[in-house]
């Protein structure tokens, strides 16, 4: 099976999940779904279809969007099976990923930063 998402790869999602992910969390078919969910979340925040218009996205924005999409997909993966790690580790992972998402949302809403990345 090949990666089906545009903004992030399965490998990037696996890095964001971290070591010790369950079989459900690291299954490529699932990561492909979670990447697409993450892409939807990103497009809703940007109010721009960066997946369809990916060729027009600047290089800096592509790296930013890859990191955001991978971490957002990891959030869905960890939510899917919270028993992979102890409660404190799971909660810590979710907190870090949530902080990344909140920071990314601020950037995605900032007109000046969007312009720097080649987004409208």
Can you give the pLDDT at residue 82? 80
DSSP labels, 15-29: HHH-TT--HHHH-HH
CB atoms within 10 A of CB 17: 24
Can you give the pLDDT at residue 17? 93
Following CA atoms 89, 92, 96, 99 in sequence, which dihedral angle do they give, to the nearest 10 degrees? 160
pTM of the predicted model as reported, rounded to 2 decimal places: 0.91
What is the C-alpha separation between 56 and 53, in angstroms, rounded?
6
Query: Domain-by-domain residue ranges, the chain?
Result: 10-116
Residue 117 has pLDDT above 80, yes or no: no
Residue 115 has pLDDT above 90, yes or no: no
- Of how many residues is the chain composed? 120
Sign of CA dihedral 70, 73, 77, 78: positive
Mean pLDDT for 100-112 is 91
What is the C-alpha separation between 32 and 17, in angstroms, rounded?
14
Mean pLDDT for 113-117 is 79
């Amino acid at each position: 099976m090949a990666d089906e998402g545009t903004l992030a790869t399965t490998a990037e999602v696996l890095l964001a999940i971290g070591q010790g992910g369950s079989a459900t969390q690291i299954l490529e078919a699932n990561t492909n779904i979670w990447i697409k969910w993450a892409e939807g979340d990103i497009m809703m925040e940007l109010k721009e279809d960066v997946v369809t218009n990916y060729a027009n996205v600047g290089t800096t924005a592509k790296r930013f969007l890859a990191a955001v999409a991978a971490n957002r997909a990891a959030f869905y993966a960890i939510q899917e099976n919270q028993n992979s790690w102890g409660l404190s580790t799971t909660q810590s992972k979710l907190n870090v990923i949530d902080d990344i998402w909140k920071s990314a949302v601020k950037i995605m809403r900032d007109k000046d930063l969007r312009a720097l990345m080649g987004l409208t």
